[in-house]
Amino acid sequence: MAILNILRYPDPRLHKVAAPVAVFDERLEKLVADMAETMYEAPGIGLAATQVDVHEQVIVIDITEDKSALTAFINPEILWSSDDKQVYDEGCLSVPGIYDGVERPSKVKVRAYDVKGQPFELDADGLLAVCIQHEMDHLKGKVFVEYLSPLKRNRIKTKLQKEERGAQREAQLRAQGRRY
């Protein structure tokens, strides 16, 4: 297994639409295992393949504290969502350190395939429903900050770009053997 590089907003690759998985093989199993390891290491509760620059419809989720309920959703689709909505403070591994309220349906029914290609359906509410919808947005090329106002989105983008420039400068100084 390997820790994968997580793309950071506003990387344009986060806006690519993921293609359906056609082949359920060892490569897919390795991708799911690597994604799970990456998600746990980050640490997070969900990760979409888009976030690790693999543009296939694959997400992994585990909302438990003890990391005991990993679920892979391959080619997920929402069959039903409730009319009642809830606002959840969402965060994202691709938008580190940023949390904000997003309104989504409070319950969903999802159909997907497991890593072996077996279909399953799942009714979800609460945090699991939010996480499923959040990760499925990634497969459509959408990041949660796009639900926020343009002003908030631009502030977040500017902040993350500034942090990235600082990290790059720090790495350059280290490579030159300088202290910062």
| Residue numbering of the annotated binding site | 92, 134, 138
Q: Cα separations (Å) of 98 from 43, 106, 151, 157? A: 14, 22, 14, 10
- Per the annotation, the verdict on 103 as an active-site residue is no
Q: What is the DSSP string of 9-65?
A: TT-GGGGPPPBPP---SHHHHHHHHHHHHHHHHTT-SEEEGGGGT--BSEEEE---T
User: What are the φ and ψ backbone dihedral angles of 68, each rounded to 5 degrees?
Assistant: -110, 5
Residue ranges at the known binding site for Fe cation: 92, 134, 138
* Catalytically annotated residue among 135, 163, 164, 170: 135
> Would you please indicate which residues are annotated as catalytic (active-site) residues?
135
